[in-house]
């Protein structure tokens, strides 16, 4: 069992392809804003399902050789989104079941939505702007730098230092991304007031239910 900070076997995608084969819809994509539980809940769900876990932010940091905030600062958002698209395409074409924690902005690009729809099931994790802000600013979250997760959210929240301003900025981004999130998601899970093991259990139950229904058809 991999520890939260150890490399996953799926953290080294192969060469870029044109996406997954038509019959390989075995990926489980977790989408949603930062701090909705995609990484923690996703890792626990993957362990229960016997699947590989993939954190896209970690892969992007490894590929670029710098934190996500540094990619934004040095190369710009367009460069970051390009790497993000490449990594998603690579993951989609890999063999075997994978639970994938995507970056908060992944579904905004229609090309990414098409890749996810063609290669697996997309689950949206949701929480309020207030809860998201609180989770981002927990001391334990601020200390966790290794995955690049916190660096991923800060460029989009630049200048939002006061609490009320920061919460309003999260709310604004949620509103801007709502259509993309809703369009991409096959199903949504509310993580408000819930711990990662509980959310992970719902993800696992959902996947197993769909698998059982598919086998029964």
Q: What is the pLDDT of residues 81-111, one digit of tens each?
A: 999 999 999 999 999 999 999 999 999 999 9
Q: What is the mean pLDDT of residues 126-139?
A: 89
What is the per-residue pLDDT across 52-82, written as a single tens digit (0 to 9) for each? 999 999 999 999 999 999 999 999 999 999 9
Give the residue among 74, 41, 2, 82 at the shortest CA–CA distance from 200: 41
Q: What band does 162 get if pLDDT is binned at 50, 70 and 90?
A: confident
Contacts of 134 (CB under 8 A, 6+ apart): none
Q: What is residue 157's predicted lDDT score, i.e. its pLDDT?
A: 56
pLDDT level of residue 46 (50, 70, 90 thresholds): very high
Phi, psi angles (nearest 5°) of residue 108? -65, -30
* Domain 27-212 sits in CATH 3.40.50.300: yes
């Amino acid at each position: 069992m991999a520890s939260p900070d150890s490399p996953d076997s799926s953290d080294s995608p192969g060469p870029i392809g044109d996406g997954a084969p038509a019959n390989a819809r075995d990926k489980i994509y977790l989408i949603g804003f930062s701090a909705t539980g995609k990484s923690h809940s996703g890792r626990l769900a993957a362990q229960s399902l016997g699947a590989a876990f993939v954190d896209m932010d970690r892969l992007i940091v490894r590929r670029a050789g710098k934190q996500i905030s540094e990619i934004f600062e040095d190369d710009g958002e367009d460069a970051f989104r390009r790497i993000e698209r490449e990594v998603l395409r690579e993951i989609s074409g890999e063999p075997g079941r994978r639970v994938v924690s995507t970056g908060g902005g992944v579904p905004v690009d229609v090309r990414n939505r098409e890749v996810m729809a063609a290669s697996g099931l997309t689950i949206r994790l949701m929480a309020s702007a207030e809860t998201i802000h609180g989770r981002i600013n927990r001391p334990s979250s601020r200390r966790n730098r290794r995955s690049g997760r916190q660096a991923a959210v800060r460029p989009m929240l630049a200048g939002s230092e006061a609490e009320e301003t920061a919460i309003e900025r999260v709310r604004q981004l949620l509103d801007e991304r709502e259509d993309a999130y809703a369009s991409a998601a096959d199903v949504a899970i509310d993580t408000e007031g819930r711990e990662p093991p509980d959310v992970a259990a719902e993800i696992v139950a959902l996947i197993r239910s769909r698998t059982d229904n598919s086998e029964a058809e």
